[in-house]
């Protein structure tokens, strides 16, 4: 006979412990420890089924692709424990993760436990007292569309792997495997490696001059861009076969060195040819999705993708961040308010724009029910407040997530970018060289007060201007040469993919 307690089933024991504290007496929280059942291996099918339509895949491809599920030996004790707990319950809450896998786990629990008490689907994106209580009070039914999506992927994994892998064993070599995801990923990796093997390196030279106003010791670097009006080739001007894509002029070692020697002649005039100033604006990056979190943690913290997800899982289960598997960069209104309030308190009200920033995912299939990865709670705990609670990698990743979230609701960085062109010459050989330099000065840091996004190195140099100040130069102003350096370069093949 049902009892008077309510049974809540989550996926992990760590999560169960935290949620039990929030729900208090009257609730028992148990963990399924992931999936409780899966497709059986065809070799383990009952003898009477091995010769039938299920025998090849444990999926009946002739009758609606019906899968044959079993509870694994490792999960039989877990299922028995859950059934015992259910006997004393008057209500069952299925509180697995709100994604395809979590929805499928909830459905399998329903199929296996066969509860005779009311069943409610309880979902949350963060493990805080407020979020858990809100989820308890606003339950729903199991989303069968999500369950079908997970089941379809699982069946495709089985069909693809079992059909294609044996072909690889016969045609390529033993021990190889194929898969719905790994085969497509392997194709991308192989295509990129073929691009790299086919790549032909091109060599080119350039000059960098250190220049300064005559009356001041304010040296700045400028790069050679033209000789006698002809643009000098850079790495971007060569294709992957090593050929020039346009009519730019490549410099070789001898001509570059000869020009450097000629420019060192004190009699060669150096004059500012043009000065241009433009406003500079930079927007903050969107809050983290799973993929952008992995990429940024790799760049800033040198974490592997697996390490990032392991640390994020721990932070989520212990109530520090929201759910870490998401395609959406959006924030709830509650999170937007928390980020704006904290930014104003820590960095000044002038760093917060009048209107909140709204972010939307690019993918039409994004799991929009999830928010971005952000600090948990109605108010965010700062990394300093958690310094004694979170240690090592946990604190590093929380700090990264907190900074990115706060910055996403802050004002643009503003400043100005000055660009100058300097004419050098004519030289003794009659050549006129043009050098270009630019400098960006940030006058209002905005979101940069909290966080600056990292970037992967580009094949042909960084596109984002770096903060660097040029002297106050005027058109027609004479300059002097401090030094000039000729340097050789080679074009680079497309980089190999990183795991993030």
Going by their DSSP bridges, the two strands 27-31 and 5-10 should be labelled as parallel
338 contacts 381 by C-beta, under 8 angstroms: no
Residue of 428, 408, 343 lying closest to 379 (CA atoms): 343
Spell out the residues 6+ positions from residue 297 whose beta carbon is closer than 8 angstroms to its own: 303, 307, 308, 397, 400, 500
Going by their DSSP bridges, the two strands 270-282 and 413-424 should be labelled as antiparallel
Give the side-chain half-sphere CA count within 13 A for 252. Answer: 1
Tokens representing 351 are 């760093």
Catalytic residue (one of 323, 347, 398, 451): 323
Going by their DSSP bridges, the two strands 230-231 and 66-67 should be labelled as unpaired
Q: Is 68 a catalytic residue?
A: no
Q: Known catalytic residues? A: 323
């Amino acid at each position: 006979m049902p009892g008077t307690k309510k049974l809540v089933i989550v996926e992990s024991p760590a999560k169960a412990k935290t949620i039990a504290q929030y729900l208090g007496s009257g609730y028992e929280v148990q963990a399924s420890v992931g999936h409780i059942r899966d497709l059986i291996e065809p070799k383990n099918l009952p003898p009477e089924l091995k010769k039938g339509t299920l025998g090849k895949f444990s999926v009946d491809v002739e009758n609606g692709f019906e899968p044959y599920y079993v509870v694994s030996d490792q999960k039989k004790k877990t299922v028995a424990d859950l059934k015992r707990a259910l006997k004393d319950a008057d209500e069952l809450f299925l509180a697995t993760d709100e994604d395809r896998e979590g929805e499928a786990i909830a459905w399998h629990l329903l199929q296996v436990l066969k509860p005779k008490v009311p069943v409610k689907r309880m979902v949350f994106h963060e493990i805080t007292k407020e979020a858990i209580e809100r989820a308890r009070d606003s339950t729903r039914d199991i989303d069968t569309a999500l369950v079908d999506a997970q089941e379809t992927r699982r069946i495709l994994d089985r069909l693809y792997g079992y059909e294609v892998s044996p072909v690889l064993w016969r045609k390529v070599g033993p021990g190889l495997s194929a898969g719905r995801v790994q085969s497509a990923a392997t194709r991308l990796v192989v295509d990129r490696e073929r691009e790299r093997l086919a790549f032909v390196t091109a060599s080119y030279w350039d000059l960098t001059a250190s220049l300064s106003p005559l009356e001041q010791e304010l040296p700045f670097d400028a790069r050679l861009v033209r000789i006698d009006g002809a643009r000098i080739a850079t790495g971007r001007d060569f294709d992957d076969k090593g050929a020039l894509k346009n009519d730019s002029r490549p410099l070789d070692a001898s001509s570059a060195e000869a020009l450097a020697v000629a420019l060192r002649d004190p009699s060669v005039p150096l004059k500012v040819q043009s000065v241009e100033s433009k406003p500079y604006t930079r927007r903050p990056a969107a809050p983290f999705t799973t993929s952008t979190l992995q990429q940024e943690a790799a760049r800033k913290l040198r974490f592997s993708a697996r390490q990032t997800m392991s640390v994020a899982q721990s932070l989520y289960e212990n109530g520090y961040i929201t759910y870490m598997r998401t395609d959406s960069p959006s924030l709830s209104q509650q999170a937007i308010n928390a980020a704006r309030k904290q930014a104003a308190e820590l960095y000044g009200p002038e760093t917060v724009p009048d209107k909140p920033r709204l972010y939307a995912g690019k993918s039409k299939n994004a799991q929009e029910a999830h928010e971005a990865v952000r600090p948990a709670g109605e108010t965010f705990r700062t990394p300093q407040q958690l310094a004694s609670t979170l240690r090592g990698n946990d604190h590093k990743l929380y700090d990264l997530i907190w900074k990115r979230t706060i910055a996403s609701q802050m004002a643009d960085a503003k400043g100005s970018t000055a660009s100058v062109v300097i004419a050098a010459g004519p030289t003794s050989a009659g050549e006129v060289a043009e050098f270009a330099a630019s400098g960006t000065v940030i006058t209002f840091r905005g979101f940069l007060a909290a966080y600056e996004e990292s970037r992967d190195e580009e094949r042909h140099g960084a596109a984002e201007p770096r903060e660097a100040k040029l002297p106050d130069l005027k058109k027609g102003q004479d300059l002097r040469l401090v030094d000039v350096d000729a340097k050789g370069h080679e074009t680079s093949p497309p980089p190999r993919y990183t795991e993030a």
